Amino acid sequence: MKQPSRRVAQTFSVFFSSVLLALAFSCSKAPRRVVLMREENVSAISPGESAERASAPRLNLNTASAGELEKIPGIGPSLAARIVEHRARHGGFRRVEHLIMVRGFSDRRFRQVSAYLFAE
């Protein structure tokens, strides 16, 4: 049986590599994110989110009371109390992302409430 020539093998290799790259890029349908600058912090908002959420006043995570935290969608009384308790035990939050260390905070919940908070 005759071996394919080197040129044919290279052609097929380039063709299949380009097909794989095209598939990889066309399959990633991640939503675009728009970054808005604010005085307090930088906020990333997806195009589908409402303008009301984008313009909502933000709370300082290190000074907000449990009652103020409860007003944020996705934070109830028990979670607000745990945030205040965590802040009292471990000191203030350096970054909003540190909310993940509070018991009951998942990545999903963090994405839900992070637009309403900032840390100083």
Backbone angles phi, psi at 10, to 5 degrees: -65, -40
* E strand or H helix at 118: strand 117-118
Give 32's Cβ-side CA count (13 Å radius). 3
Question: What is the arithmetic mean of pLDDT over 50-70?
Answer: 78
Give 98: exposed, middle or buried? Use CB within 10 Å, 0-12, 13-18, 19+. middle
Task: Report the pLDDT value the prediction gives residue 38, as an integer from 0 to 100.
Answer: 47
* E strand or H helix at 60: strand 59-60
Residue 106, pLDDT above cutoff 90? no
For the whole prediction, is pTM greater than 0.75? no
What is 34-118's CATH topology?
DNA polymerase; domain 1 (1.10.150)
pLDDT digits (tens, 9 = 90+) for 72-95: 998 999 999 999 999 999 988 999
